[in-house]
Amino acid sequence: MREFERVLKALANGRRLAIARYLKSHGAAPVGDIAQAIKLSFKATSKHLAILSAAGIVGHEQRSLLHFYSLANDAPAIARRIITLL
C-alpha cells in the first residue's frame, strides 16, 4: 500500500505529469531539454525528476556529462496505467 501511495503522490503534481507526458512522447531526454519543453527551471525540473525517480517512475542514465531520463521499464503498474492516460 505504501508503494501505491508513493506513486500517486509523485504523480499528483501538474509539473511531474508534464514531465511524464514529455518522456512518453519523446523517450530519453536530458534535464535541460525537459526543462525547456515544460517551461520550468533546470533546478526545479531536477527536483521533480528526483521525486519521480524515487517512486520508480523514471530512470536515468549518464552519458558523458549529461543525465538522460526516461520512463522506467519496470515502473509500478499503477504508474504505467496513469501514464497511458496522458
**What number is the average pLDDT over the span 32-36?**
97
- Work out the mean pLDDT of the chain and round it to a whole number: 95
pTM for this one?
Answer: 0.93
Residue found by looking up cell 515544460 in the block: 38
Quote the pLDDT of residue 3.
84
- Is the model's pLDDT at 1 over the cut of 90? no
**What number is the average pLDDT over the span 57-71?**
94
Nearest CA to 28 out of 64, 79, 72 is that of 72
H/E run at residue 34: helix 31-38
**What number is the average pLDDT over the span 51-77?**
95
Which residues in 21-84 belong to E strands, given as ranges? 29-30, 58-63, 66-71
Domains of the chain (ranges, CATH numbers):
2-84 (1.10.10.10)
